[in-house]
A and B are shown apart, each in its own frame.
Chain A
Amino acid sequence: MLPLTVGLTHYVVLSALLFAIGLFGVLSKRNAVAVLICIELMLNAVNINLIAFSKYITPTLFIGQLFAVFVITVAAAEVGVGLAIIIAIYRNRLSVNLDDFDWLKW
């Protein structure tokens, strides 16, 4: 059995994977709410990065953790505004399918 110690690299790879998954979701999901959730995934990838770096690179300072707290807070605010807009657009168009929203183009 291989000695398995979890190091910085693992966290960074996890974060990159999460980011990529979120990115894939943003590009492929048609539902606005799903896209919003995928953006949250990307932000959480960032948070993993921040905390991992904080733990391994500046273990005495809590810079990364602090930053992550701010990211979480702001993301919550963004989701709040986002859901409000999605509700507003649903009222107007009776749809949350992003493919329907192409009145503004060219």
Chain B
Amino acid sequence: MNVNLSLLAPELFISALGLAVLILGLIVPKDSRHGLGWLTVFGLLLGMGITMAGWENQGTLYGGLFVVDQYAVFFKLTFLVAAFLVVLGSMRYVDMMGDQSEYYSMILFATLGMMVLASAGDFMTLYLGLELMTIAFIVLVCFRRNDVKSVEAGIKYLLLAGVSSAVLLYGLSLVYGLTGTVVIGEVGRALTARPVPALILGLAMLLAGLGFKVSAVPFHMWTPDVYEGAPTPVTAFLAVGSKAASFAVLLRVFIGALPAVWAHWAMLVAVLAAVTIIVGNLVAIPQTNIKRLLAYSSIAQAGYILVGLITATGPGIKAVMFYAFLYVFATVGAFTVVTQYYSVTGSDEIKDYAGLSQRSPLMAAVMVICMLSMAGIPPLAGFVGKFYLFKTIINDYLWLAFIGLIMSMVSVYYYLKVALVMYRDEPADPAPIQLSAPVALTLLIAMIVTIVLGVYPGPLSEATNVAAQSFWR
């Protein structure tokens, strides 16, 4: 069998990098393991370059098991950017935590899992990618193994993810039983619009299994607990990487394999999106812990992104990709502030953010801008993203657009509550917070990209258009 390895280059590179970091961690002495972070950062940059270079290089491998189209490449870039920002912003935190080589290699393996997921052309590759990502994340979530909360979050994530995987697999096995194939494209051709009970059950289980990963209500229960307990950089990566990868595969499965029963699941996804938006935003209001607040806000964001799936058309796919990309910057920006603040003060409580604007104007500004972007305030990127998302459904699901609009207003309330604490209240300890260069760089990248994408979304919009078109090729 002749395999075009150039299509696999990004995956091969990242797995080699992950292994190298793991092994180097055993070789280099303890006090110089700090350099592993930089190795990871530059490795990820190189990985981005390799992925970008393969933008035009499309094809399938192993008889359709592994698909490399621009859709997949775009998502891979998104994951790499997310990993890059997370690692860049968390090096100091990781040095304090110890075990650098395991941490960085797990991040890399999780990234690898996401990349495989984005390229999954059949259910087996999908499952392997999903589990590679999930298991790496389980390890990362309970990485602070002496911290009770971290381990509790780990066991919750482990067991609930296991259950959701089992449900997802059961759904996949039913679809396989109905069509006799596991290749996504062939499933799409084999399925007919006749809704036999097994298909209904399979559909519901697929939606639940993947809905768990993107934390759609009511499969979201794990999200706040795991987000709160996990080390903050991991939370950030979980919120952007895992979610984006799951959306990539959600779109691939539902639009690629199940278009025949679109009429059945479209309404279901619409309801799910509505419930997710409502619950995510409402429960965010009474939160007092910043990580839980961001967790609920990320649930709400998942609801917004789900909107792009409903129509199962090119513009919808494009909107999901666009939003997933900009969401990386807003979320990593906000979580990097949380990480940094935690390493200085040891607190994640919102009330302890009092006077942050005086202690570190940059951190406060990045937090506000990222949050306002998530709320969809123009001229920030989130506004453009939400615009693209809701534009696809405005004709057919006006009620959903209204829910999105009203709940966006609600979200402004709890986001601004944080801003109020940071800008109005006096700090308990007025000492300025020193930012290390990598953290400041991460914050600046997050802020600038969030603003620039809002003011000038043209190029990214074009790129996502092209990538969305490659979906059906």
Contacts and interface: CB of A to CB of B under 8 A. Distances in A.
Q: Interface on chain A toward B: helix, strand, loop, or mixed SS?
A: helix
A92 B150 CA distance: 11
A63 B182 contact: yes
A32 B229 contact: no
Nearest to A12: B177
A101 B159 CA distance: 13
Interface residues of A, number: 41
B176 A64 contact: yes
Given A43-B166, A70-B128, A92-B146, 18 more contacts: A19-B166, A32-B159, A35-B159, A36-B159, A36-B162, A39-B162, A45-B166, A46-B166, A50-B173, A52-B177, A63-B176, A66-B124, A74-B135, A85-B158, A88-B145, A89-B151, A104-B149, A106-B292
Interface of B: 123-124, 127-128, 131, 135, 138-139, 142, 145-146, 148-149, 151-156, 158-159, 162-163, 165-167, 169-170, 173-174, 176-177, 180-182, 224-226, 228-229, 292
A104 B153 contact: yes
Nearest to B226: A104
Given A42-B170, A46-B170, A88-B151, A67 B182 contact: yes
Contact of A103 (B152, B169, B226): B152
A64 B182 CA distance: 9
B177 A57 contact: yes
A86 to B, nearest CB: 7
A93 B374 CA distance: 38
A26 B163 contact: yes
A82 B163 CA distance: 13
Contact of B155 (A42, A43, A46, A86): A86
B169 A46 contact: yes
A4 interface: no
Contacts of B166: 19, 22, 39, 42-43, 45-46
B225 A85 contact: no
Contacts of B149: 103-104
Given A39-B163, A71-B169, A53 B177 contact: yes
